[in-house]
């Protein structure tokens, strides 16, 4: 028998137990500090040195690079290692915790890029984010590219930027092909990521939503789970059938 094809879309909620705050939850960054959205909006970032300074300071203060995978990340990696299903992970997160948990990079589609590297907006050079933060700790408030002097930003998709079309196309293909689609820790309010649910459900996939707050897709889901993600997801993945139809 064929293996089930499982796609898992993850959002900020899967990483809150790792100490990384979410964005749109009751205690989310955007909820408590709406002005923070400017810090990750490309138009403001590219034209205002003060916005860049505050953006770098926010990244330093959140300590996201120090975060460790939690039980939910580890459960997904364990499912992959089991070989029981054909798995593709699509994430709205930029924290790299899926890879840290043991998922090979080629199995993770990072819709919004990665915060673990920085890119020069002028010459395209990429360097580790840790190096840029070390320069900030040493006193540089808005460190320029050391290759050409251009503006540096984390290698993430900011508001006002387009998603990588190759990554988005692969994510859409995974959503269309899967037999089970999990939406985990995501508000399902941001498109085109939320539209992946439509693609999966439209092809008859079983839809499971695991999120603390209601989402626009709860009414069409086969199962909605409000339990803490790091507790619920290991159980739900463990209940998956080991063979396909």
List active site positions: 112
Reference 229, options 4, 3, 11; nearest CA is 11
Instruction: Using alpha carbons, select from 233, 235, 106 the residue that is nearest to residue 166.
Output: 106
Residue 100: left if φ>0, alpha if ψ -120 to 50, beta else—which one? alpha
Assess contact for 89 and 108: CB atoms under 8 A.
yes
DSSP-assigned states of every residue in 23-40: SSSTT-HHHH-GGGGGGG
Helices within the chain (DSSP H only): 29-32, 42-47, 49-62, 71-82, 97-101, 129-137, 165-177, 195-202, 229-238
């Amino acid at each position: 028998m064929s293996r089930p094809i499982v796609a898992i879309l993850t959002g900020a909620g899967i990483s809150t137990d790792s100490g990384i705050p979410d964005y749109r939850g009751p205690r989310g960054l955007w909820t408590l500090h709406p002005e923070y959205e400017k810090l990750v909006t490309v138009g403001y970032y590219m034209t205002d040195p003060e916005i860049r300074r505050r953006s770098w300071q926010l990244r330093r203060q959140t300590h996201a690079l120090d975060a460790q995978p939690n039980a939910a990340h580890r459960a997904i990696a364990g499912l992959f290692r089991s070989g029981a299903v054909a798995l593709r992970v699509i994430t709205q997160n930029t924290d790299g915790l899926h890879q840290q948990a043991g998922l090979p990079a080629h199995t993770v589609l990072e819709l919004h890029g990665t915060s673990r590297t920085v890119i020069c907006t002028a010459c395209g050079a990429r360097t580790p984010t840790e190096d840029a933060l070390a320069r900030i700790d040493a006193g540089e408030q808005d460190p320029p590219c050391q290759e050409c002097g251009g503006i540096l930003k984390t290698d993430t998709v900011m508001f006002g930027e387009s998603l990588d079309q190759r990554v988005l196309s692969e994510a859409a293909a995974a959503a269309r092909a899967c037999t089970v689609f999990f939406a985990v820790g995501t508000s399902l309010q941001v498109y085109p990521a939320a539209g992946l649910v439509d693609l999966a459900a439209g092809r008859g996939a079983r839809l499971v939503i695991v999120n603390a707050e209601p989402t626009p897709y709860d009414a069409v889901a086969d199962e909605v789970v409000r339990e803490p993600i790091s507790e619920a997801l290991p159980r739900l993945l463990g209940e998956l059938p080991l063979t396909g139809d």
